[in-house]
């Protein structure tokens, strides 16, 4: 079964935020009740898992665990193991800041994790500490080196949110660092988010980042690149890749193939629309996955707002990336 939205876009990908808590304090992502705020109760592992199974019934075949920091959720490896038992999920990913990753890699891979995204906004120790509030760049780089030894991940994706005056000068250094490794370096345009401090003066678009990198990048062919919003490039015979996620300067809604589920059970149809539908009651009232899936299908068709493919994301809606998971 292929799930389609009212604009005909196929939906095959579910991003699940496992917690609103994070162990870093990145300014652009800190808004909302993350650290220090009042956390609303999250769905139990069982409830979350019922929903995940129901989504697999609806044709979703790719899942990513995110957060907050997903590795702060206690049983994340068990959840990945359970997920890997669901035949339809071929791709099981994790987006993490890497702080707790190194020692957990073996158990995560053993559980079935096969895609890895790590957020890394600077290669300079002081700048990294300034952005994240934690002086731990060395251990993140060690975790990346360790992760590169696992073939199962293919290219490891490294996400950098580019901000003028903070890390924009690092673009060439980042590119040089990544191209030598089996890394897909993803330059993410800074998006407006709740209490993110976004402003034109901090924004650096794809064109400028490309100019700063200053090398001739060749686009990957359609078969080689992933579906989704990133546009990926190679440079000569180097193993690494360079990608751009340009939500602000280009818009990325045309290729939107995803739904987002928060740790509280809110189903979000569009990152840049504040509407969501809470699924807590749906899982409380039924243990039948088929039944839950049929309720979800109805919600998806009737209530869940998906924005049109040509929408501009600067529209006054400022999502809390921490709650939704980016």
Residues that bind ligand SAM (CB under 6 A): 22, 28-29, 66-67, 69, 95-97, 119, 159, 161, 188, 190-191, 193, 196, 321-322, 325-326
For residue 77, the minimal CB distance to ligand SAM (Å) is 16
CA diameter of the chain: 57
For residue 31, the minimal CB distance to ligand SAM (Å) is 9
Helix (H, G, I), strand (E, B) or coil at 79: helix
Closest CA to 198 of 167, 168, 164, 245: 164
Which residue has the CB atom at the shortest distance from ligand SAM?
326
Considering beta carbons, is residue 50 or 64 the nearer one to ligand SAM? 64
Considering beta carbons, is residue 19 or 58 the nearer one to ligand SAM? 19
Considering beta carbons, is residue 161 or 261 the nearer one to ligand SAM? 161
Considering beta carbons, is residue 16 or 283 the nearer one to ligand SAM? 16
For residue 172, the minimal CB distance to ligand SAM (Å) is 20
Can you name the residues that pair with 268 across neighbouring β-strands?
260, 276
* 151 phi and psi angles, rounded to 5 deg: -65, -25
Closest CA to 190 of 175, 201, 174, 179: 201
Query: Token pair 């400022």 is at which residue?
Result: 318
Q: How far is CA 254 from the centre of its chain?
A: 17
Which token pair is 26? Answer: 């990145």
Distance CA 311, CA 291 (A): 33
Distance CA 188, CA 145 (A): 22
Helix (H, G, I), strand (E, B) or coil at 180: coil
For residue 66, the minimal CB distance to ligand SAM (Å) is 5
Helix (H, G, I), strand (E, B) or coil at 147: helix
Considering beta carbons, is residue 29 or 256 the nearer one to ligand SAM? 29
Considering beta carbons, is residue 265 or 326 the nearer one to ligand SAM? 326
For residue 72, the minimal CB distance to ligand SAM (Å) is 9
Can you name the residues that pair with 157 across neighbouring β-strands?
117, 184
Considering beta carbons, is residue 192 or 265 the nearer one to ligand SAM? 192
Q: Where are the beta strands (DSSP E) in the chain?
A: 3-4, 10-11, 13-17, 62-66, 91-96, 115-119, 156-162, 183-189, 218-219, 231-234, 241-245, 258-261, 266-268, 276-278
Considering beta carbons, is residue 142 or 289 the nearer one to ligand SAM? 142
For residue 309, the minimal CB distance to ligand SAM (Å) is 20
For residue 322, the minimal CB distance to ligand SAM (Å) is 6
For residue 125, the minimal CB distance to ligand SAM (Å) is 18
């Amino acid at each position: 079964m292929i799930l389609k939205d009212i604009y005909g876009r196929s939906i095959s990908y579910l991003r699940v935020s496992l917690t609103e808590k994070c162990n870093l304090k990145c300014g652009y992502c800190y808004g909302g009740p993350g650290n220090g705020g009042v956390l609303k109760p999250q769905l139990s592992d069982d409830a979350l898992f019922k929903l995940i199974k129901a989504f697999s019934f609806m044709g979703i075949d790719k899942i990513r665990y995110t957060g907050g920091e997903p590795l702060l959720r206690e049983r994340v490896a068990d959840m990945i193991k359970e997920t890997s038992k669901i035949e339809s999920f071929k791709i099981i990913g994790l987006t993490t800041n890497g702080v707790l990753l190194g020692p957990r890699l073996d158990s995560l891979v053993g559980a079935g994790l096969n895609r890895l995204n790590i957020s890394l906004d600077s290669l300079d120790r002081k700048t990294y500490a300034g952005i994240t509030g934690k002086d731990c760049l060395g251990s993140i780089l060690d975790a990346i080196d360790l992760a590169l030894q696992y073939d199962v991940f293919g290219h490891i994706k490294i996400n950098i949110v580019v901000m003028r005056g903070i890390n924009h000068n690092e673009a060439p250094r980042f590119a040089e660092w990544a191209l030598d490794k089996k890394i897909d370096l993803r330059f993410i345009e800074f998006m407006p988010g709740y209490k993110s401090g976004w402003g034109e003066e901090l924004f650096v678009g794809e064109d400028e980042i490309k100019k700063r990198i200053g090398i001739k990048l060749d686009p990957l062919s359609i078969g080689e690149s992933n579906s989704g919003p990133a546009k990926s490039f190679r440079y000569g015979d180097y193993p690494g890749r360079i990608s751009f996620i340009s939500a602000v300067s280009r818009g990325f809604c045309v290729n939107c193939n995803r739904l987002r589920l928060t740790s509280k059970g809110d189903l979000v149809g569009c990152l840049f629309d504040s509407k969501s539908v809470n699924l807590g009651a749906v899982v409380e009232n039924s243990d039948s996955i088929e039944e839950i899936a049929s309720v979800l299908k109805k919600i998806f068709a009737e209530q869940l707002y998906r924005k049109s493919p040509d929408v501009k994301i600067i529209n006054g809606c400022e999502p809390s990336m921490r709650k939704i998971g980016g």
